[in-house]
Structure formats: C-alpha cells, structure tokens
A and B are shown apart, each in its own frame.
Chain A
C-alpha cells in the first residue's frame, strides 16, 4: 500500500497524505478499494467511475450536500488533479438566488439586491452615536455640587503606589467608589465626579476608597502579604511600601 501510495504520489506530483485522503474519498464514492484507486493513479490510468460528472453533480452525490452558493468538488486526482486543487485560483462562487441547488431543492441563501456598503456607513454612524451618548457624555467632568471634593492629594510614593495598585490588578476585586445608596452606607464619603481613585467595577473584596481611615499601614501590609485569606502579592519591599502608602493615603473621610 505504501509503495502504491508513493508511486501514485510521485505520478501525480502530490503529497502522499493528500493522495491517501483523496483515494479514500474516491474509494467511498466509487465502491472500489483504496488500493485499486492508488494503483490506477500510479499507472496514470483513469479510475472507473460511474461517469465523469460535472463537479456540482459529483459533490451532490456526497453526504456533505453541496451548498447552493459554492461550487464544490471532491479533491480527486482524476477529475481535478490534487495539485490543481491546491493551487486552484480561489475563489468565488455564488449566485444564491437564481441558481438551482444541485440537489434539486430550492436555493437556500436567499439574498436581495442591495449595497452592503450602506450597512457599513450606517454601522459607523450608529457607533458614533452610542460613543457620544454612552462614553463621551458620561465622561465629561462635572463641577462638584458643593465645596467637597473626592480628589486626594497623594505623595510621590502614593502616586507610585497607585501605579502598583493598577498593575497587580487590585481593581479586579476592589472598588474605590462609594455610592449614595443604602448598600454603601458606612464605607466612607460618597465618591464624586472628580475622584482620582481607581473606581473599579467589581467588589469581591472590600471597598478601599477609605481604607486609610480603617486600617493602619501595618495592618494593610499584613493583608497584602497574605494575611486573612488575601493572596500574597509577592511585592518587593519598595513596591510594598509604595502600595501601602497609597492605601494609607486613601482616606476620603479626611478629604471631606
């Protein structure tokens, strides 16, 4: 079999794996054995098949029914040499509406005459509209209603700590955002629009907007180091100091 395969592959100038696969498919389609197919190919003979049907009909005989929108062909060496299949200039194919499906059934990919580029223009226009309404509008800074501000003046170490806070992913679990609703009573001063804390969107761990008023630096360092069910962030001592400084400075109670 491998000799036959090699001979067939050499005769066809096609990789053996592809010849093997094509021969198997041809054998299933014709009822012949794979060896017979390979033997015929190796000798350069045409394989005896029911009839050299047009590609559409050939494909239609398969259990992978041909799509109405694509002309398909089995990659068999005698009808379409495998090499030609590989290198066939792709592509195209379809007349979904007018064409009759090879199976005799009605065409399935029914489309209407239109210009898809209109969809493109409308899609871009829609995006611009929701961008303005859903992102630009809500992001416009608002003046604080009163004298209070949520902006915290951090030291240099605190600023560096905020970068560490972001890079290690603290915001994936912790918010720094207190809302004016019952759920957040007791968490600290309500966050205003000018907040410079990292708001976050999940509160798997406690809110940290006012952590500096509740915990000492030593307690915070212990938690970051793995105490109380918190993962050990494995920070260097410099990074740890910066992060602790940032959190200690996160005290909205004092900023009000």
Chain B
C-alpha cells in the first residue's frame, strides 16, 4: 500500500529525479500560499480603508499576509527554484532530499501555525510577521536547512566551473537564516524599543533584497540563458549585481527610522550605502537586456523569461524609490507613510512574484514533463501583476507623499489630532488614493490566481513534453 501511494505521488509530481520532484512540491505549495496570502493581503488593504467592517484589525491581517507571502510563498517557491538548479549547476545530487522535504513541511507548518496564532491575537506584534518568540525558533531552524543542503551539495560538486546563478543562490540561502537570527534577537529580554524597531526593519529590507531579489535574480539568469539558448552577456555585471544587492540589502529598512530616536549617524550611512541598491538592480537588469539583445522576439512564447525580465526591471524601480527615500531630506516626508508600504508591496508582490514565475514557468515543464497549460494564462499573470502592482505603487506612493507633506504643513497640530483619525483623514485625496490602491490590489490578486492556475495546471493536467532526465556522471566524464 505504501509503495502504491509512493508511486502515485511520484506520478503526480511528474516522475523524474527526486530532486525535481521536491522542487515541484515546493512550487505547488508556494503557489497555494500565494493564493492564501494574496487573499489576506486584499482583505488587509480593504480593512485599511474600511477599518470598521472587519472583525480582525489591519495590524493582524497585515502580519498574516506578510507571513504567508514572505515565508509561505517567496521562501518556499524560491527554494524550489534552488533545488531545481543546484543539481544542474553542480553536476551532483542534492546533499539530502529528505532534509529538503523536512524543511518544506516545517516551514509550511510554522506558517499555518503562525496564521492561527496571529489570528487569535496571540502574536508578538513585531513587524513584519507579528509572531510570538516561541515560533521564531523552529522557523529559524527550518530556514537554516536549505543553507546546509546547498553547502553540502556544492562541497561535493562534480562541476569545477560555476555559473553566476550559483553565487546568488549561495548568498541568498546563507543570508536568509542569518537575517532571521538577527530578527529573532529582537525578542531577547532587556532589549530596548529602539533596538527592536531597527531589528524589524533590518530584517524586512534584508529579506526582500538579500534573499528575494538576490535568489530570484540568480534564478532568472539561469532561466533566460537556458530558455533562449544564448550566453550571458556579462559575468562582470552579474558580479556587480550580486555584491551590490548584498551590500545594499538592509539600508533602506534602517533609513525608515530617519530622525527617530536612534543615533544620528545612521541616517547618513544608510543614505550613502543604500546607493548600492539601484546600482545592483541596474546592473542585473542591464545584463539581462544585453543578453537578450537581438533575441527579444523569442520572448513572445516564453512567458517565464518575460516574467523574469519584468521582475528585474521592476526591481530597478523599487530600488530607485527606496534609495531616493533613504536620504534624510526626502525621508522627512516619506518616513512612516504609505510610501514605504508601496515600496514593500512592489518588492514582494511585484518583483518577488515575477522572479518566482520566471523560474517556475521554466522549471516545471522540464521537471514534471508537462507543458504549461496555456501560455496565454501565463502572459495574463505577467500583465495583471505589472498593472496591479504598478497601480498600487503609484497610488500608495502618492498617498504617502500627500500625507507626508500634509504633516509638514501642520495637519498633525490641527484636525489630525483632534479628530483622532489616521493619516488618511488628513486629506480627502489620500482617502481616494487608498481606494484606488484597493482596486489595483484586486488586479494583482487576479494575477496571483492566474499564476496558481498555471502552476497547478502544469503539474496536474499539462500535456506531455520532454522531461529532463538527470543522469549521474563522474567528474571525469565529458
């Protein structure tokens, strides 16, 4: 019976190598979390505008959405991409598929348990997840496992030459647990409020830049080169892109506390070092553009490559906005406003989702031996995501700037305080802009559903197509 079940599961996940099956499982579970998290995010944005009609506060909904989308979707999906490329780039088996499976179950379980905990009002309240300290521990452990697997795999590689994707993967999987430990440290007893606030922002910005952007971009390099069958334009630009993302990772988070109770030197350091963020994003986007020069027409039937490239371009927009607002003069207007909400939304649900789609649309057919159900639906995902995220980005950025300038104009000293309402009450325009953002968030959600449909449709009902069969070769084989 057990053997029969095992066979069925293998069939469901497309046969093929164990490594590919675990990658497919990651993509599937990541897609499921995207659907759940996307729905919670829409409700959260609704509750921001219509706070009095939802039984759960925006604060809890936002934490639940963050947990589901960041840990459930982004981490799990990108780990799927990592497990897909690692054997292909190192010429050896994954160090431990069982451990990869255990980490998948552990992360999924912690996310589901965390959702319940936060929903019941038992969370710890720290952004971005609001998890109590006792959930941080198993999650930190689970996030360390992919790093162990990656290092173990690379340490016994057969391939002596490394493609650039390998650096991005190594950096991402090593930085992720370290970032989480730094975040976890914010729960240490006796730590001051300032340290906790810095820890929260350090993690959020670091997670998005040093894990999502870094790993996603690395996997996009792989997908573009493989799918279009052309060499990468510049290894040097990839070097610049990789190290700049790592170097710039946390500063746009730290910069959000500009003029706060932290040391004054931090704002200047964050502004200066944060300039590396757009440099890294630009290096990667231009590298992809140079690679595709003369081959753009091939993107018409490669929605995965299109998604990856769109993600890299959107990363430039996000990086420019984050770097721009990290300067104290700009930060005095944008800090604490919806401007940063817009940046984080675009970073996770725009850049993150597109980069994940870039690798999953390329990997699934090869790993599962099934064609994407329709390229139209994949293209719809690209379009809806760009339109939805772009709309939210513009409307929330405008709302943030208006509220920031209204504070400068003195709204805090008059109606704002006396009325006791939020920043939106400072101006009718911000209310309207928030409403527009709700509409675009719905468009983004439709795009997310399209992504889920493509992933599930490929695995469960895609038409047969050539499947990668990974065969073992020794180091001496040519």
Contact = CB atoms under 8 A, between A and B. Distances in A.
A binds B: yes
Interface of A: 15, 17-18, 21-22, 24-25, 28, 55, 59, 62-75, 80, 82, 85-86, 88-99, 101, 103, 105-114, 116-117, 119-120, 123-124, 126-127, 130-131, 133-135, 137-142, 150, 165-173, 175, 177, 179-187, 191-207, 214-215, 219, 223, 226, 228-234
Contacts of B94: 90-91
A-B residue pairs, 8 tightest by C-beta = A169-B59, A166-B125, A90-B17, A172-B59, A139-B195, A186-B413, A111-B161, A25-B464
Contacts of A109: 89, 163, 222, 225-226
Task: Among A99, A110, A203, find the residue whose CB has the most chain B CB atoms closer than 10 A.
Answer: A203
Nearest to A64: B466
B424 A204 contact: yes
Task: Among A17, A21, A134, A215, find the residue whose CB has the most chain B CB atoms closer than 10 A.
Answer: A134
Contact of B63 (A134, A169, A186): A169
A93 B473 contact: yes
16 contacts: A91-B94, A101-B229, A111-B166, A113-B160, A114-B161, A117-B154, A124-B174, A127-B246, A139-B194, A168-B125, A169-B130, A172-B130, A181-B259, A191-B260, A198-B193, A201-B201
Given A18-B15, A116-B154, A183-B408, A24 B229 contact: no
A91 B92 contact: yes
Interface string B29-65: 0000000000000000001100110111111101100
A108 B127 contact: no
B262 interface: yes
B6 to A, nearest CB: 10
A91 B19 contact: yes
Interface stretch (B278-286, B311-319, B365-373, B374-382): B365-373
Question: For chain A, what secondary structure do more than half of its interface residues adopt (helix, strand, loop), or is it mixed?
Answer: loop
Interface in B317-335: 332-333, 335
Task: Among A71, A90, A203, find the residue whose CB has the most chain B CB atoms closer than 10 A.
Answer: A90
Contacts, number: 399
A233 B54 CA distance: 9
A6 to B, nearest CB: 15
Given A90-B472, A91-B18, A231-B56, 14 more contacts: A21-B464, A55-B469, A68-B229, A70-B88, A89-B93, A90-B17, A93-B473, A95-B91, A111-B161, A117-B154, A120-B154, A141-B192, A165-B125, A172-B57
B416 to A, nearest CB: 7
B387 interface: no
Given A70-B470, A120-B151, A139-B198, A231 B58 contact: yes
A86 B468 contact: no
Task: Among B121, B126, B157, B257, find the residue whose CB has the most chain A CB atoms closer than 10 A.
Answer: B121
Contact of A194 (B178, B192, B254): B192
B60 to A, nearest CB: 4
